Amino acid sequence: MVEAATAIRFRKLYDQHHRAVLAYFLRRLDSDAAYEATEDVFLVAWRRLDTVPDGERALAWLYSVARRVLANHRRSRARRRRLWNRLADETATVGPGPEAVVVRREEHEELLTALARLPDKDQELLRLAVWEELPHADIGDLLGCSVGAVDVRLHRAVRRLEKGLRQAGHRPGRRPAFLPGEES
């Protein structure tokens, strides 16, 4: 009964406010990104349905989630832009020869293979810290743990990833530059 009531409440929330949330994003993003962001808002609403207020206050709550989703989208877009700019800068200068490009590509494949072998929790933690560049406090909020626990888990995840890289033939002492933590 509880699950049916939850589904009915969510459906009602979605039916009442989907258009307004989508319109919010369409005024700020391209069409594809707006639809994706709207999905993200309602995914948060589903996960936190017990905290969504009833009535018209629900729309204000959804807009507050939408603002955070939009901010995350813009940060992600800015990171991608910086990454592409760095890549363009590297390729614009007299870059490495074909051998270095092949080595980089092989190291990237080794990294992806080692990452895929990690437990799902480690993969998610590394993605949040490295790719999403989230502060440890935000990661703690997302994962439901303290900043100290995030630090410890991240340290252990990096060590497991490094071990996987060594097993794949990555030379010891050459810590990949993207990994968080101390430099080697």
Binned at pLDDT 50, 70 and 90, residue 180 comes out as low
Query: What was the pLDDT predicted at 91?
Result: 52
Q: Where a domain ends, among 44, 76, 108?
A: 76
107 and 176 fall within a common domain: yes
Per-residue pLDDT, 66: 95
Domains: count for the chain = 2
Q: Are residues 6 and 60 in the same domain?
A: yes
Q: What's the pLDDT score for residue 93?
A: 53
Predicted pLDDT at 166: 81
pTM across the whole model = 0.47
Mean pLDDT score, 14-25 = 96
Residues 44, 116, single domain; the answer is no
Residues 123 and 167 in one domain: yes
* CATH code of the domain in which 137 resides: 1.10.10.10
**Residue 184: its pLDDT value, please?**
37
- What mean pLDDT comes out for the span 135-160? 89
- Which has more confidence, 22 or 105? 22
100 shares a domain with 68:
no
Band (134; pLDDT cuts 50, 70, 90): confident
The Cα–Cα gap between 44 and 90 comes to 39
Q: Which domain holds residue 25?
A: 2-76
Same domain, 111 and 174: yes
pLDDT class for 176, splitting at 50, 70, 90?
A: low
At residue 64, the pLDDT reads: 94
Look at residue 82 in the predicted model and tell me its pLDDT. 74
DSSP for 30-95 reads -HHHHHHHHHHHHHHHHHTGGGSPSTTHHHHHHHHHHHHHHHHHHHHHHHHHHHHHHHHHHHHSS-
Q: Write the pLDDT tens digit of every residue in 41-86.
A: 999 999 999 999 988 899 999 999 999 999 998 888 777 777 676 6
